[in-house]
Amino acid sequence: MPSDASHVYRRYLSAVMLHGHAGAKACGLGATDLYALNILELSGAMTPGELAARTGLTTGPTTRLIDRLEQAGYVRRSPAPGDRRKVIVEPVGKPAELDQVMAPARQKIGQILAGYSPEQLEALFDYFSRAADAYREAAEALRAADDAADRSADA
């Protein structure tokens, strides 16, 4: 492993985050709005509570986030099947403006990936999948520890 591997990796993560923030801003969204929209597009419709848990937001900020995404035409609220008292938040089609804003970076990344062999691509995407799980698990552990600390402080 190169001696500067940590530096290279952190630089990569920072560039991805910077691009996400810039893309969100270009579409009139906040970074958390874009993150929530990505969660909905990847996972499908869910309750506001599930979205709150996935984003790490509390109820109030989640409601305002859904309001912004709904007003921008990215999501809609619908009655939950089987329990009309509950609401489901679902993505509405593909956000054309967001796709247009993100297209140049996606094209450049596609060109980079085209330079890898099938075996290298398999290793890269195996890493992406396993690293996503590792980061998600680590985030859940951090949230659980933070929740436990909050409960302890309240006691």
Q: How many residues does the chain have?
A: 155
* CATH number, domain 5-94, options 1.10.10.10, 3.40.190.10, 3.30.1490.20, 3.20.20.70: 1.10.10.10
Q: Which of 102, 81, 90 is nearest to 40 (CA)?
A: 90
Query: pTM of the prediction?
Result: 0.79
Per-residue pLDDT tens digits for 91-144? 987 667 888 898 999 999 999 999 999 999 999 999 999 999 999 899 889 988
Copy the structure tokens of residue 22. 């810039």
Per-residue pLDDT tens digits for 79-93? 988 888 899 999 987
The 10 Å CB-count burial string (b at 16+, else e) for 123-151 is eeeeeeeeeeeeeeeeeeeeeeeeeeeee
Contacts of 89 by beta carbon, 8 Å cutoff, 6+ apart: 40, 45, 46, 47, 48, 51, 66, 69, 75, 76, 77
